Structures are given as C-alpha cells and as structure tokens.
Amino acid sequence: MSRRYDSRTTIFSPEGRLYQVEYAMEAIGNAGSAIGILANDGVVLVGEKKVTSKLLQTSKSTEKMYKIDDHLACAVAGIMSDANILINTARVQAQRYTFAYQEPMPVEQLVQSLCDTKQGYTQFGGLRPFGVSFLFAGWDKNFGFQLYMSDPSGNYGGWKAAAIGANNQAAQSMLKQDYKEDITREEAVALALKVLSKTMDSTSLTAEKLELAEIFLLPSGEVKYQVCSPESLSKLLVKSGVTQPTPDSS
Amino acid sequence: MECVFGLVGDGFALIAADSSAVHSILVHKSNEDKVMILDSHKLLGASGEGGDRVQFTEYIQKNVHLYQFRNGIPLTTAAAANFTRGELAIALRKNPYLVNILLAGYDKDIGPSLYYIDYIATLHKIEKGAFGYGSYFSLSMMDRHYHSGMSLEEAIDLVDKCIMEIRSRLVVAPPNFVIKIVDKDGAREYAWRESVKDAGIAPA
C-alpha cells in the first residue's frame, strides 16, 4: 500500500509520513555510531569507525569528525558522500557569515542554516534527502558550549548528550542514566567511551576503531578543536577500563 | 551642506546631525531627523543624496531587526557596522548608494564604539569623526578639545562649540541640529539645537 507514496520525497503518505525521509534514517541506523556529550568546560565527540583496514592511510584524515570553522566541529553518521556535500555547505555558510559580519557564526545559526538546506530536499526538487545525521559541537559567546543533533528531515535539537548511528537508542538511554549535570570534559570522555563500548558490535575496543575529538577553550580564550591521537586514545581506553592493557612482553 | 559628526565619551557615544532637508536652493524643512535609532543600543547618523539616505538606512535598520527576530539575539555594533559596509560594497560597482554614515553603539562587554562608513564602503573604527562641509570645522574643534573618556557635560559642550563654528563659519550653514546619545540605558534623543523654528500654520 505504502509503495505508492514512497517514490517521491515531496509526497505525504495517507498516514502523514514522509517515507523517503524515514528510509534515509534507516540507512543511518546501519552506519557507525557517534556520541556527543556536553560538559561544563567543553564538548566531547566520539565516533565508531567502520572502515578498519590496515591498508587504510589514516595519518591525517578523519572518518567521523570534521571541523566546520575554528569554533565549530561535527561528527557524522550515514552516507559519507552525502556528508561531504553538507560539510562543505556548512563551511561555506560559516565563512559567508564571517565575511559579512567579521565575527564567528553563532553555533545554532549554522545548524539552523544547514537544516534549512536539508529540509529543502524533503519538500521540493524531487531529489532524495541526505542520508546523514550530524552531531554539531561548538562554542560561541552568546551561549558558550553547545551540542546539537540533526537528522535527514532537517529537524534539530540542542542536547546535553546525544547519539546517532547504529544502536543509538540503546546509547541514548544509557547516556540518560549516567549523564550528570556538572560533568567535566574528562568525565564526559570516560562516559562516552563506556557507552560506546557497550553499544558497539565488536567485542573489543581498540584505538583504531574509534575517533575522539574535543572542543574546549584555551587559557588565551581561543576555541580549540582537538582530535585525539591514536596513542593517547589507547591510553585513555586503558584508563577508563574499557580495554585491558597490553601485557608487557618479557 | 549636510553636517554629521560624532564622538565616543565615558560610557557613551553621541552623534549630532543637522536637520535641513534641502533641494537645490530650497529648504524643504529644517527639522528632518537624520540620526536613526537602529535598535535599542545603536544609532545611525547619515548624510547624502536625496532618496538614498532614507532608502539605505531603512534597509539596514530592517535587516538589523530581522536578524534579531530570527536569532533571538541582537547584532553587536561591530557586526552591524561590517554588515552595513558590506552592503555598500556590494552596491558600489553596480548602483552605489551616495550615503555617508556614522554608526554608534553600546555593547555590554565592550562599551561604546563609533564607526565611520563612507559612500565607497570605507570602514574605520574611530573615537571622533565627521562628514560634510561642516567636518572642516567640527573635526578641527574636536582635534583641539577632544580627549578620551569625556563626561557627558564635557562632550555636549564640545558639540555646542562645533555647532557654533559651523553656524558662524560655513557659508550656507544649517540652522538646526539634533543630538542623540547611546549608553548602557539605550539609544535616545538627547536634545535639539534650534536657531530657526519651523513656522506653525499662519492664523487665518
């Protein structure tokens, strides 16, 4: 019955659903998960890497985390090629704002602007929606540190902790239980790693399967976006008790 | 013959402008308000070509209001000044607006600030500035008497000195001026300086 109503995004079904948008969210449900947590001194983003081959060149590029502007970064879940287009759009919008106002773009305005783009693809043009969900993390002088989640429909919300991608329901309920209000960045990292380890399919968590990025303020007042190196990530995993330390070879 | 000038004092900024609306040799009215209240804490003093002045300043004012409605927060003075300059720059190589602007504002974290924006989209952040023929006299007076951190009384005294110079030395001097200020309590009209009052309707 519903087959009649799912070929075009611009059509509602009789039950009032947009099937293409829902199918897009299905696609994301199969992608690598990502978790974001808002701490009182920063925002933490952790992502699960799906592509883990020894042959992959992973020196500089990231799979899950992308910097949009000096004060804003995002984690993605879904179709990577779609994500690249939207990330580029977001970067252009941020620079365009800075060109006009000579100030960094407020985080919510960037998210809103990108979501307006996504919404367009659910209403006109006859093109399919973007199969990506985002977790935006950033800082601005109006509202400090912020975390936003957006999905293919173009809806977005501000969150204290959120999860996207595979098993996001389970991750979200775990975050709800363990999140506490004045959480520090360090505690947030530990919490994110713990939740991810429980919801990821793989049996053991190693640094190659993860990406960790943090947004925080330097003593100078500048916003810093830092991707954790694999070495420090391994140490963190051991410290938070998620992996066993490698036995010293005698 | 339009005169607009402004300065930054201790916790406030002010803009004074003449209030003659002139077309060739005719003075249409002498109580035209050329200092627009851009939003709760910003002033826009403008001088220039007939329709352009009102058209451009109202366009900027509405865009500043739209930003606030859309985003729930007001633009900072610097952002508003850069936005204004950008619009002038975009129009410059197509159909330029012949309008010179002094933008004064008060931001909670920075305090008062004044921006000079001329018709070819030059932008400067300044402590004192002026446009028009009157600038020859008001800038000289301000160069002599201005110092940073002036109190409101001192600043108004300086404004009156400038107006006196303009009235006595400029050949077709505008008779009336309006003075507006912006400080932590907002942007508002401070005073008029009138030497010619518009005549009321003559009795029958």
Residue with more model confidence, A240 or B70: B70
Two tokens, residue A246: 């490698």
Kindly report the length of chain A.
Answer: 250
Contacts of B86 in chain A (CB under 8 A): 99-100
CA separation for the pair A115, A111 (Å, rounded): 6
**For range A102-118, the mean pLDDT:** 96
pLDDT at A206: 85
Two tokens, residue A222: 């500048």
CA separation for the pair A6, A50 (Å, rounded): 29
pLDDT at A3: 65
Asked if B88 reaches chain A (Cβ–Cβ under 8 Å), the answer is no
Minimal CA separation from B117 to chain A, in Å: 14
pLDDT tier, A249 (very low <50, low <70, confident <90, very high otherwise): very low
Asked if B89 reaches chain A (Cβ–Cβ under 8 Å), the answer is no
pLDDT at A1: 52
Q: Which phi and psi angles does A101 have, rounded to 5°?
A: -110, -5
**For range A33-45, the mean pLDDT:** 96
What's the complex ipTM? Answer: 0.84
Contacts of A102 in chain B (CB under 8 A): 78-79, 82
Two tokens, residue A183: 């959480």
Nearest CA to B155 out of B190, B108, B107, B115 is that of B190
Scored b (16 or more CB within 10 A) or e, A207-235 reads bebbbbbbbbeeeeeebebebbeeeebbe
Contacts of A106 in chain B (CB under 8 A): 71, 73
Of B71, B73, B79, the CB nearest to A102: B79
Residue with more model confidence, A137 or A206: A137
**For range B173-182, the mean pLDDT:** 96
pLDDT at A10: 77
Mean pLDDT of chain A: 90
Residue A208 is classified by DSSP as G
Minimal CA separation from A237 to chain B, in Å: 40
pLDDT tier, A200 (very low <50, low <70, confident <90, very high otherwise): confident
State which residue of chain B sits closest to A107, comparing Cα positions. B71
Asked if B140 reaches chain A (Cβ–Cβ under 8 Å), the answer is no
Which residue has tokens 């249409």?
A: B28
pLDDT at B185 over 60: yes
Contacts of B75 in chain A (CB under 8 A): 101
Contacts of B82 in chain A (CB under 8 A): 100-103
CB B81 within 8 A of CB B38: no
In which region does residue A95 sit, left (phi positive, over 0), alpha (psi from -120 to 50) or beta (all else)? alpha
- The span from the first CA to the last CA of chain A, in angstroms, equals 66
pLDDT tier, A182 (very low <50, low <70, confident <90, very high otherwise): very high
Q: Across the interface, do A101 and B83 touch by the CB < 8 Å criterion?
A: yes
Q: Across the interface, do B78 and A102 touch by the CB < 8 Å criterion?
A: yes
Helix (H) or strand (E) holding A61: none
Two tokens, residue B10: 């201790």
Q: pTM for the complete prediction?
A: 0.88
In which region does residue A44 sit, left (phi positive, over 0), alpha (psi from -120 to 50) or beta (all else)? beta
State which residue of chain B sits closest to A103, comparing Cα positions. B79
CA distances (Å), origin B200, targets B29, B148, B196, B197: 12, 42, 12, 9
Q: State pLDDT tens for residues A59-86.
A: 667 889 999 999 999 999 999 999 999 9
Q: State pLDDT tens for residues A12-29.
A: 888 988 888 999 999 999
**For range B47-65, the mean pLDDT:** 94
pLDDT tier, A113 (very low <50, low <70, confident <90, very high otherwise): very high
CB A47 within 8 A of CB A211: yes
pLDDT at B72 over 90: yes
Instruction: Give the number of other CB atoms < 10 A from CB of residue B36.
Output: 22
pLDDT at A250 over 60: no
Asked if B79 reaches chain A (Cβ–Cβ under 8 Å), the answer is yes
Two tokens, residue A192: 């994110």
Q: Which residue, among A95, A96, A98, A102, would best test binding to B if mutated, counting the most B CBs under 10 Å from its CB?
A: A102
Mean pLDDT of chain B: 94
pLDDT at B202 over 70: no
CA quadruple A240, A241, A243, A246: dihedral, nearest 10: 100
Q: Which range has the top average pLDDT, A119-123, B28-32, B154-158?
A: B154-158
State which residue of chain B sits closest to A106, comparing Cα positions. B71
One-letter amino acid identity for B79? Answer: A
- Planar angle of CA A175, A180, A186, nearest 5 degrees: 85
CB B125 within 8 A of CB B114: yes
pLDDT at B74: 96
Considering only CB atoms, which residues of chain A are within 8 Å of chain B?
A: 99-103, 106, 108-109, 142
**For range B79-88, the mean pLDDT:** 98
CB A97 within 8 A of CB A62: no
Contacts of A109 in chain B (CB under 8 A): 71
Of A99, A103, A142, the CB nearest to B78: A103
pLDDT at A248: 52
Of A99, A103, A109, the CB nearest to B71: A109
pLDDT at A6 over 80: no
Q: Across the interface, do A142 and B78 touch by the CB < 8 Å criterion?
A: no
